[in-house]
Structure 1
Amino acid sequence: MTTQTQSPSATAPLALVILAAGKGTRMKSDLHKVLHPVAGRPMLLHLMASAAQLAPARQVVVAGHGRDQLEKALGGSATIAVQEPQLGTGHAVQQAQGALDGFAGDVLILYGDVPFVRAQTMQAMLDRLHAADAPAVVVLGFRPDDALQYGRVIAEGDRVVKMVEHKDASEAERACTLCNSGLMAVKGGDLFALLAQVGNDNAQGEYYLTDIVNVANAAGKTCAVVVTDDPDEVAGINSRAELAQAEGRWQQRRRLAAMADGASLVAPETVWFSHDTVLGRDVTVEQNVVFGPGVTVADNVVIHAFCHLEGCTVESGVSVGPFARLRPGATLEQNSRVGNFVEVKNARLGAGAKANHLTYLGDADVGAGANIGAGTITCNYDGYFKYRTVIGERAFIGSNSALIAPVRIGADAIVAAGSAVSRDVSDGELRLVRAEQLVKPGWADRFHDAMKKKKAEGKK
């Protein structure tokens, strides 16, 4: 993607106008379309995260229905302008006029359901806006494999001669393969003056944003097109099928990036990342591993097959799984290990500590070098409140033990297998909490004989 030499005014302040007023009927969902997640993050927030690299001074999201949902998701990070009724994209951008009152910088017009536009693409549009020929409007174009119903950009070189929607295009214009993504860069001082001249004399009876190019051309101004080299970045998401396709494309790129950065994925197509997953070098990820949001994995970690990680920190030298679940607040310190069917939630496993089988550690601190036997659970919830379990360094917790919080197990202490511990255990102490064994010789034989006789007689 190339641009002309930019002028010093390319450092003008930036405003974003993000269109999100569509009803999203093809989603068949009560959730606003632009809030459907890809890689654990709403598509609107993907877009805003990319645009944040350009440090926008103002952000306006144009909404229709679902305004309450958008306000909650945005958390005050953008002004919401309401478009009601929806009379086209040009009309939608006009609703941002009040929020941009007095703004004289650059305006990027984006779409909330086109979430993967790269920051460098946005910057290329702004650079072109400030090139020596001072275009009034810069359009982002792309060349898809199949132009379908996309509007066309009729250009000579990178100068736009005409913009035309597919429904209004002639056969000759439809033969053009340069399509309109809908994204534009416009100087704030020109935008609303151009929009005021847009009419709705077209097949849809709508006010098309693209017509500002034709208005500017008619006034003798220059308009330009920047063409992305990756059509996927301007792909819109309008249905559940398209959402799944977008997820697939995103995951494939993330897998390639992880391997390029030094991680080994044994079966890449079975590993699923979140938008914020961090993997160190020499990490091995086996088959069918899912990373939810908020996971950080250090160097030299092995994550075995069929693990699910979310909201956790895994330090260097750790081994996880197979079939392990790390939930939010879990921290596995250096060289610790959790094995098959172990769940860790809001708990710290100290350096070198291990829980190899069938264990639940919730709301716990496990000291360095401690060993947690198979079937151990921390009983952290009484139906109303959560309580914490503290296990000291080098403590040994025998299999099938229940640690009833709040409770503290001292350093080097041993909890015998099958114990239900409800009181603190001192350092170096053995705690054995079992009911006395009762032996009744011959009782089982007599029971079996009696039950077999009843069964033979047809009695219960």
Structure 2
Amino acid sequence: MSNRYAIILAAGQGTRMKSKLYKVLHPVCGKPMVQHVIDQVNQLQIEDIVTVIGHGAEKVQEQLGDSCKYALQEQQLGTAHAVMQAESVLSAKSGTTLVICGDTPLIKAETMKELIALHEQSQAKATILTAYADNPAGYGRVLRGEGGLVEKIVEHKDASEEERYVKEINTGTYCFDNQALFSALQKVSNENVQGEYYLPDVIEILKEEGEVVTAFQSSEFEETLGVNDRVALSQAEQILRKRINEKHMRNGVTIIDPLTTFIEADVQIGQDTVINPGSFIKGKSIIGQDCLIGPNTEISNCEIGDGTEVLQSVVHESSIGSFVKIGPFAHVRPQSDIKDSVKIGNFVEIKKTVFGKGSKASHLSYIGDAEVGENVNIGCGSITVNYDGKNKYLTKIEDNVFIGCNSNLVAPVTVGEGAYVAAGSTITQDVPQQALSVARARQVNKEDYVKNLKFNK
């Protein structure tokens, strides 16, 4: 196997997106388009990846980090000019170079592997990734000759009536012999209406030099989709979402309605988990086996154990144990650690809290900046009062504590193991172990008070 390299073209501004966000950073199923491309290319045993950046260069580098090398295209003078910017990194090397656009988030590693394999087996100087288009209007046509070799690429506007009937189109992804590529790039002219240097001209130059140029046709036209505007962005989102959902279903996950279920690209889900309609599962969430998610639930960057239920709730950036019941209408905010067999009931909000095994907050409570032990019962309407207007403080509730309804625990405060807090109490001091704490005004009944009021006379 020869050495392999990749050049990712990601320098265009993307004016048709009409956005302040640089085009290749627009997300598809939760991940920037260019990141999808990098992740697929990384599966190809590539020695060097060079991403050509221009507009928004710093943001792209921030996203991709050290996963690739970079070449700066200060002026956007066409695709061939963009590839030329990788000259200092690659031109002296021998091997196969893949050139792919950073706005093609649907491209599959398997397709690129087959493209490279055909290129190397046929000993071609260039191989074009093509696709069959039912409606090829606007695309360059790939015209083949004897033995299926490529004769030329004809742009739609330049094609004859007969050539326009050809439905095999150029996708803009190529394999080249690296030395032949950089040699031909020196001969590309910008004598055209736009005054730009176009990469397809390299194909014409190689053909004129008598070199072999071949093509590999993708089995799916949709995976070659380039995203240039918001319409194409939504199309890519729908296609990739369908692909992701089907992958999970084939792996043993039940998705009741794939059309209303939104699972991002890096999510992992265990077998026999059921996802109900209206669910959004985002980021790098990991969901165990035999779980029940939704309906109308949002989970983002969470790890969830086996047998857990999250119903009509929002859970962000937290760890959830096994056999936990969350919801309906609960909110678990970031940095929470919910242990096994916990119940977080309706209209309960948890924030930056460790919630111990077997503990319960069944309804209408706020538990923030807290450490809750095991087998704790937190009654309806209870609050950890964690903020004094300037600083946040910790509430610590030890094992086997009972917190009565409508209790306020004013942090910093500790409720000792096995203690009881009476309903309606406002706790401002530590409660000893096994103690009953009552912190409320003594009840006073004033006989005949109401009938003696003036407005009753």
Structures share fold, TM-score greater than 0.5: yes
Paired position in structure 2 for 1:135: 124
Question: Which of 189, 208, 211 lines up with 1:218 in the alignment?
Answer: 208
- Please identify, of 174-183 and 425-434, the stretch whose mean Cα deviation from structure 2 is larger: 425-434
CA contact (8 A) 1:317 1:336 kept: no
- SS, match of residue 180 in structure 1: strand
Question: Which of 349, 360, 375 lines up with 2:355 in the alignment?
Answer: 349
Q: Are residues 213 and 353 of structure 1, via their aligned partners in 2, closer, same or farther at CA, if it must alter by over 3 Å? A: same
1:73 matched to 2:83? The reply is no
Residue 442 of structure 1 and its aligned partner are, at CA, apart by 5.7
CA contact (8 A) 1:114 1:236 kept: yes
Unaligned runs of 5+ in 2: 311-326
- Please identify, of 151-160 and 208-217, the stretch whose mean Cα deviation from structure 2 is larger: 151-160
CA contact (8 A) 2:143 2:151 kept: yes
CA contact (8 A) 2:124 2:177 kept: no
- Please identify, of 83-92 and 407-416, the stretch whose mean Cα deviation from structure 2 is larger: 407-416
- SS, match of residue 162 in structure 2: helix
Residue 449 of structure 1 and its aligned partner are, at CA, apart by 2.3
Name the CA distance, whole Å, in 2 between partners of 1:202 and 1:48: 32
Unaligned runs of 5+ in 1: 1-8, 454-460
Identical-pair percentage? 39
- Normalising by structure 2, we get a TM-score of 0.88
Name the CA distance, whole Å, in 2 between partners of 1:33 and 1:447: 72
Name the CA distance, whole Å, in 1 between partners of 2:364 and 2:95: 60
Paired position in structure 2 for 1:412: 418
CA contact (8 A) 1:325 1:343 kept: yes
Residue 384 of structure 1 and its aligned partner are, at CA, apart by 4.5
Paired position in structure 1 for 2:139: 150
Name the CA distance, whole Å, in 2 between partners of 1:412 and 1:130: 72
Q: Are residues 288 and 31 of structure 1, via their aligned partners in 2, closer, same or farther at CA, if it must alter by over 3 Å? A: same
Residue 439 of structure 1 and its aligned partner are, at CA, apart by 4.8
Paired position in structure 2 for 1:457: none
- Normalising by structure 1, we get a TM-score of 0.87
Structure 2 residue identity aligned to 1:146 = N
- SS, match of residue 75 in structure 2: coil
Name the CA distance, whole Å, in 2 between partners of 1:349 and 1:266: 31
Structure 2 residue identity aligned to 1:290 = F
The count of residues paired between Structure 1 and Structure 2 equals 440
- SS, match of residue 66 in structure 2: coil
CA contact (8 A) 2:149 2:215 kept: yes
Q: Are residues 238 and 278 of structure 1, via their aligned partners in 2, closer, same or farther at CA, if it must alter by over 3 Å? A: same
Name the CA distance, whole Å, in 1 between partners of 2:277 and 2:85: 49
CA contact (8 A) 1:340 1:357 kept: yes
Question: Which of 24, 27, 37 lines up with 1:34 in the alignment?
Answer: 24
Paired position in structure 1 for 2:8: 18
Paired position in structure 1 for 2:368: 362
Paired position in structure 1 for 2:304: 314
Paired position in structure 2 for 1:46: 36
Matches within 5 A, 1:181-192: 181-192=171-182
Residue 444 of structure 1 and its aligned partner are, at CA, apart by 5.8
Name the CA distance, whole Å, in 2 between partners of 1:447 and 1:117: 80
1:425 matched to 2:431? The reply is yes
Question: Which of 270, 286, 291 lines up with 1:296 in the alignment?
Answer: 286
What do the CA deviations read for 1:387-433 (whole angstroms, capped 9, x no partner)?
44333333333333333344333333333333333443343333333
CA contact (8 A) 1:318 1:332 kept: no
Matches within 5 A, 1:253-272: 253-272=243-262
Paired position in structure 2 for 1:326: 332
What do the CA deviations read for 1:116-152 (whole angstroms, capped 9, x no partner)?
2111111112112210x30001111111232121111
Name the CA distance, whole Å, in 1 between partners of 2:166 and 2:120: 27
1:110 matched to 2:100? The reply is yes
Name the CA distance, whole Å, in 1 between partners of 2:414 and 2:351: 18
Matches within 5 A, 1:153-164: 153-156=142-145, 157-164=147-154
- SS, match of residue 99 in structure 2: strand
1:64 matched to 2:70? The reply is no
Name the CA distance, whole Å, in 2 between partners of 1:401 and 1:292: 35
CA contact (8 A) 2:365 2:381 kept: yes
What do the CA deviations read for 1:24-77 (whole angstroms, capped 9, x no partner)?
112111111111112221111111111112243322221222122222222233
